Amino acid sequence: MLIVARKNLFSERVRLLISVGGIALAVLLITFLLALFRGWSEKIGGFVEEVDADVWIAREGTTDFLVAASILPLEGVEERFSQIDSIETWSPLIAVPLGATSDGSDMDVQMIGFDPSTEMGGPVKVTEGESVPGPGEVIIDNALNRRYGLDIGDTINAAGTDWTVVGRSDGGDFVAAQAIFVTLDQAQEALTMDGLATFILVKMKDPDRAAGFARTVEANQPGAIGFTSEDFATATRDRILGNVIPILTVILILAFIVGLAVSGLTIYTATVEKAREYGILKAVGFTNGYLYRVVFEQSLVIGMLGFLLGAGLTVAVGPFIQNYVPQFVVFVRWQDILLVAGVTLLMALLAAYVPVRRLAAIDPVAVFKA
């Protein structure tokens, strides 16, 4: 680093702190928002991806997993699917959003009724207790434990039935609601859905044929629609996050502008204050290129320090916040950190642009004035 850049930068510690703080705040906000978005995206679409199925069949018009109004009759399905060689196995699944209560607390849950014989659509990863609930029993997602203190042995009322918690699992947190798992027949009974399911999950012998099978379902089964697992996860994410993305984008742009404004203004005022010194340097034989480098180096160092501070705080503080605010689900990806580093670099270069133009206009003759 050029000595003039280094000395200018570190001799004004308050200004440096303000500049670095401005960039760090912007970086913190940007990385938090990206991590939050990734976290939500992971939670919301993650369950669908984790289910060991290649094709999801639903009622026509169904768009996603979480707010599905799908009802499918199960009558005759066994007979039809048994004639299709490419199907390895299939399983009905009930997924219904409900309000539930426990010990005076109201909570939003996604009641999932799965077939214990196939375990398709069941808890992704049981961390404690039973892995298959019995009659009147339920396995809850750990997020319900974190949010409401619900634990094994407690009772939760959903769909007019009191369920005893017998296990806890991960992978069923959809941010706005959390999964409670019961067996299919218990769900059918509680929800009066005898002979019905929300989805039919199909596992293909050859997963590459999933898309073709999904299209076949649509073509040959009126009133039904087929999704590959990947498409259904994407559709679920889009449905929930589609409304959030524009808001996040606006906040990201605002964070960028705030970071740019703070760093740009501090670098500009530092340049204006040092205008005479830059004039001296020009007078004693330094080129404009050298002076530009001085300003760019200062801006880049501010950007780098701000980035390290902001990104570091995100990584360090994110998990702590998550403990206190369960909805604050952050998932930091290295690709996003790299993206934010690029954004910070852009911020630093733009912040230096106006001061550099100012430098070009400095007349070295002015330094002869006392």
Which residues are near other proteins by CB under 8 A?
2-4, 7-8, 11, 276-277, 280-290, 364-365, 367-368, 370
Q: How far apart are CA 86 and CA 206, in angstroms?
A: 7
The Cβ of residue 136 has, within 10 Å, a number of other Cβ atoms equal to: 14
For the bound state, the minimum distance from the C-beta of residue 21 to other proteins, rounded and expressed in Å, comes to 21
For the bound state, the minimum distance from the C-beta of residue 144 to other proteins, rounded and expressed in Å, comes to 58
Q: How far apart are CA 160 and CA 270, in angstroms?
A: 68
**How far is it between the farthest Cα atoms of the chain?**
100
Secondary structure of residue 148 in the 3-state scheme: helix
Q: Which is nearer to other proteins, 15 or 59 (CB)?
A: 15
- Given a contact cutoff of 8 angstroms between Cβ atoms, the answer to whether 25 and 259 are in contact is yes
For the bound state, the minimum distance from the C-beta of residue 307 to other proteins, rounded and expressed in Å, comes to 24
- Given a contact cutoff of 8 angstroms between Cβ atoms, the answer to whether 212 and 41 are in contact is no
For the bound state, the minimum distance from the C-beta of residue 290 to other proteins, rounded and expressed in Å, comes to 6
Q: Which is nearer to other proteins, 219 or 284 (CB)?
A: 284
Encoded tokens for 19: 């500049």
Q: Which is nearer to other proteins, 2 or 339 (CB)?
A: 2
State how far the alpha carbon of 370 is from the alpha carbons of 276, 282, 284, 367, in Å.
Answer: 11, 17, 16, 7
Q: Which is nearer to other proteins, 4 or 33 (CB)?
A: 4
Sign of the C-alpha dihedral computed for residues 215, 221, 222 and 223 taken in this order: negative
For the bound state, the minimum distance from the C-beta of residue 296 to other proteins, rounded and expressed in Å, comes to 14
Q: Which is nearer to other proteins, 160 or 289 (CB)?
A: 289
Strand-pair partners of 73 = 196
Encoded tokens for 217: 């379902």
Q: Which is nearer to other proteins, 8 or 41 (CB)?
A: 8
